[in-house]
Amino acid sequence: MNTTKKAKSALISVFHKDGLAPIVQKLDELGVKIYSTGGTESFIKELGINVIPVEDLTSYPSILGGRVKTLHPKVFGGILARRENENDLSQLTEYEIPELDIVIVDLYPFEKTVASGASEQDIIEKIDIGGISLIRAAAKNFKDVICVSSMKQYNEFLQIMDDSKGETTLEQRKRFAAKSFAVSSHYDTAIFNYLNKNEVVFRESFDEVSTLRYGENPHQKGYFFGNLDELFEKLHGKELSYNNLLDVDAAVNLMEEFKNDAPTFAILKHNNACGLAQRVSLKEAYLDALAGDPTSAFGGVLISNKEIDQETAEEIHKLFCEVVIAPSYTSEALELLKGKKNRIILIQKNIKLPQTQYRTALNGVLCQDKDNKTDDGSVIKTATLKEPSARELDDLFFASKICKHTKSNTIVLVKNKQLCASGTGQTSRVDALNQAIAKATHFNFDLKEAVMASDAFFPFPDCVEIANKAGINAVIQPGGSIKDQLSVDYCNEHKMSMIFTGTRHFKH
């Protein structure tokens, strides 16, 4: 059986006309009969090309304000008829239905309409009915019909028409059918997620995909599904890798905690902050963040909550780092930072971050609300006789914000709004604390009057005892252990202050 098909007729009904003219001109050049509707029909006529209105085929006008145009047996019969089925062909002849070999559709922009803040009525009107039905019908009958289901496919389709003089292979038609059902399922997912308010259902679809150099390691394939251009403007450097993206995600979510604060700079490595400081100037914030762990900062991701100026850039430029993120850069700073060919420089745009988090687990997907709770003075309870001072309170809340974005089990040590050290991802909270103290000591931090934050409660007084012996006198933790009083008693005996937040911040 010859699976190559020569196109004789096409139905075109699209929202976006950009890039359509060359296709229409090519089809006309190849002698393909063109049927169309509404605005697309007018567009084709303006090109001086013959087009048959669908109304002439169906003997019905467009009705209900354009809601019904193509939903008719004379349209769908011509698409769905099986060319090798004699009964189908006989019925086409009986009812004077033309075979339709090409269907070109571009759907109403539902997602863009939702994003624009339009009224519900305007959004509902952008739910395409005829277009989605045409796509499904044409894709189903890929043995005989090629379906172009998005303006993103125009160039590829035009190349096929140009190269093969209007013929398509079964492999090409099947590939376009797969693309069509991808378009259809993505469209339906967007509609469902807009309308759904109550059902707990996992329905996510991403229309944009980037092929990464590899995954976490060179032997793993890696992809990113999503539109980074919505969040960042890339100014310089190589492409972001799988591991870069994980670190960038951690950096962006961490800095969200300090978005409107005084100049704050963070350095991240393997999704954890290895340095973070808040100062009067950004240069000071960067230098004190770097002092937190200059060894780990090598090859890290840097992020600022303020515009990066020349003075700060001069210091950053001395460090090998993978990515720099900021809301803006002075022209002098940008020119300097571009001095390293592969350094990735990003401007973070001011958009709302997703509020739901997903990750694969076993043979399914885990889903949860984002941890949007930030510990502050409105929710704390002083558990000890001694109250923390105002300076200690500032540092405790500062440490708690970092702790929330650090892998569990974690302990974070802070002094004067500077991360001294953290213990990250340990199986024991005691190990996490010992790791943090060892790092702080290694980098010459004096922990006297530093504060400690924990992402979960202390089941025993061992951590507060170790902290106290290191010079730490103020602690913030969730509380909630049946043995909380043991830690409280130790703090009271040693004149330490401890506050309970009532909120655990595990990050696995």
The catalytic site residues sit at: 140, 270
Phi-psi bin for 272: left (phi > 0), alpha (psi -120 to 50), beta? beta
The distance from CA 95 to its chain's CA centroid, rounded to whole angstroms, is 50
> How far, in Å, CA of 27 to CA of 31, rounded?
6
> How far, in Å, CA of 190 to CA of 452, rounded?
44
> How far, in Å, CA of 303 to CA of 265, rounded?
6
Query: What letter does residue 218 receive in the DSSP assignment?
Result: T
Q: Which among 486, 487, 480, 411 is positioned nearest to 451, based on CA atoms? A: 411
Q: Are 103 and 76 in contact (CB under 8 A)?
A: no
User: Could you identify the residue written with the tokens 């997907």?
Assistant: 365
Tokens linked to 294: 């200059």
Q: Please list the alpha-helical segments (H only) found in 196-214.
A: none
> How far, in Å, CA of 71 to CA of 58, rounded?
9
Cβ-proximal residues to 379 (8 Å cutoff; 6+ apart), any chain: 501, 502, 503
Residue 18 pairs with which residues in a beta bridge?
A: none
Positive or negative, the CA dihedral 143, 145, 151, 153 is positive
Backbone angles phi, psi at 238, to 5 degrees: -75, 175
Tokens linked to 101: 């070999």
Q: Are 293 and 439 in contact (CB under 8 A)?
A: yes
Q: Which among 149, 183, 148, 184 is positioned nearest to 168, based on CA atoms? A: 148
Q: Which among 466, 475, 468, 460 is positioned nearest to 493, based on CA atoms? A: 468
> How far, in Å, CA of 280 to CA of 222, rounded?
41
The distance from CA 446 to its chain's CA centroid, rounded to whole angstroms, is 40
H or E element in which residue 244 lies: helix 242-256
Rounding to the nearest 10 degrees, give the CA dihedral for residues 203, 209, 213, 214: 20
User: Could you identify the residue written with the tokens 């002098």?
Assistant: 332
